[in-house]
A and B are shown apart, each in its own frame.
Chain A
């Protein structure tokens, strides 16, 4: 477990963050410039904090009061950078084995073959880094960090430079890493979908400060983005229900109702998180009949925030969770909807990218933060 409480000031920016992580994946979430990468740099030992403490598994890495600063090569923290930073003068195999030479022999818990198999990189071993695609390079970089037998793995927006297709291929890999190698991961991202899918715990940074931390479904709202109309989204924790094989659909169940998504979402009964854009939610004052929309979630209006012609409606769902819906002010008035009223929220099946629906680990790891 890592316990971070640090402050660092550089011209024009002041970082002051404190957080802990647990098992599994902890996300550092925030828009660019929020201080995520600087935090990662401090944890990895690439920069010194002005003051503060960093403790990893009871080992003090930084304590400015006691003048302790463990250099990065002695921290045993693996880092995967935004651009992979593979060594261009080594082949893929040598890159993977680079950290292995320095890992203490007794501590080699990660097997070379296991990493190669999990990441699906066996066919790349004899290639040179310059000949690899972006996605392949990142997979090698992840393998290289894993094989140095780290006690903590830092992923600094590892997919920011990748296109959607590559990202969708690598996200399941991260889930496999989390479940197979049992190394705690600190995952930096500004993509709500990625965090919702992967993380058990999210730390939200803004302007160098921790503004929230907790379960991703609770803390990732309100959304970050330039235009709140399209950026507002909610994360729903749901359970995989039955499958309609004839039409290729899967039902996701929530105490407030159920929705359908295209394609599969893993094992029946498994827990998943779904990201729903506020603009894809339609409101109804009574249980709808005869619509093409295939799912309705029941709840009460907790908050209405108007802006021009539009209104952002926050619905407290039956059971747990909140869902944001974007509607016109006129629609709300026509339906006579106000705070506290019962509503049915309709989610369009085709609007959910089923490829981004991911399972949280079977036994969700939590911590007290």
Chain B
């Protein structure tokens, strides 16, 4: 399942960045914070085609980053890795939003307490803030994953619709319903994508509830 691989890679690779950006937006005050937030949330409001086209301009073979990466032997455009990048960019705002909210809900005085006990800020983050924000982190990752599975517009613009290379479940369904007699195949894929989505949502609900239960202290 190419779609699944693309979505998983997109989610996992963007996860550390998502956590970092979410924490920075939740906790730190720095100049240009509003601008950073705007850029992060931009793909949420832009038409996906625009995002895809911008990716193509930037990461295409002759794009600013694309040509640099090509020199290193990494080509993103019209490859599955490019599809993963498009999915990651589209899912990023959803991921950051959920995580930022849960980081903001963590009492900063708990981090201060960890500091007075001798934990440096990095350790305080990994031992206190991250575990406490875990339900939101999981929710954010799930949302990004779901977005990656369903991503269509940016992907098709950036990496086209090449069977076996960049054809995701969404673009495959689109292809099938364009050709005569493709309906049964489209329906099959539709059921598959519903199943994946359900599993993802149920799994994240379970994780989240377990996290909340632990915090409520049912020892």
Contact = CB atoms under 8 A, between A and B. Distances in A.
Nearest to A71: B115
Interface in B93-117: 107, 109-110, 112-117
Given A46-B112, A79-B113, A128-B217, A89 B118 contact: no
On chain B, which size bracket covers the interface?
20 to 34
Interface string B189-215: 000000000000000000000000011
Given A73-B116, A102-B118, A89 B131 contact: yes
Contacts of B116: 44-46, 72-73, 75, 77-79, 145, 148
Contacts of B120: 71, 73
B219 to A, nearest CB: 4
A298 B215 CA distance: 60
B126 to A, nearest CB: 12
A273 B178 CA distance: 91
A126 B219 contact: yes
B93 to A, nearest CB: 27
A145 B132 CA distance: 21
B217 A85 contact: no
A120 interface: no
Contacts, number: 82
A262 interface: no
Contacts of A99: 117-119
Contacts of A76: 118
A224 to B, nearest CB: 27
A87 B128 contact: yes
A85 B109 contact: yes
Given A72-B115, A99-B118, A91 B219 contact: yes
B72 interface: no
Contacts of B113: 79, 81, 85, 87
B182 interface: no
Contacts of A148: 116-118
Contacts of A144: 117
Contacts of A87: 110, 113-114, 127-128
A130 B113 CA distance: 17
Contacts of A45: 115-116
Contacts of B115: 45-46, 71-73
B47 interface: no
B163 interface: no
A90 to B, nearest CB: 9
Contacts of B214: 89, 128
A103 B112 CA distance: 16
A128 B117 contact: no
B29 to A, nearest CB: 14
B110 A85 contact: yes
Nearest to A44: B116
A316 B218 CA distance: 59
Contacts of A81: 109, 113
A278 B60 CA distance: 85
Nearest to B120: A73
Interface in A73-118: 73-79, 81, 85, 87-89, 91, 98-99, 101-103
B179 interface: no
Contacts of B131: 89
A49 interface: no
Given A88-B215, A88-B217, A78 B117 contact: yes
Interface string B128-157: 100110000000000000000000000000
A102 B132 CA distance: 20
B132 A89 contact: yes
B132 to A, nearest CB: 6
A74 B131 CA distance: 23
6 contacts: A73-B120, A85-B110, A99-B118, A131-B219, A145-B117, A148-B118
Given A79-B113, A81-B109, A102-B119, 16 more contacts: A44-B116, A45-B115, A45-B116, A46-B116, A71-B115, A75-B116, A77-B116, A79-B116, A85-B109, A85-B112, A85-B113, A102-B117, A103-B118, A128-B217, A129-B217, A144-B117
Interface of B: 107, 109-110, 112-121, 123-124, 127-128, 131-132, 214-219
- Pairs A-B, 7 closest by C-beta atoms: A130-B217, A102-B118, A128-B217, A99-B117, A128-B219, A85-B113, A72-B115
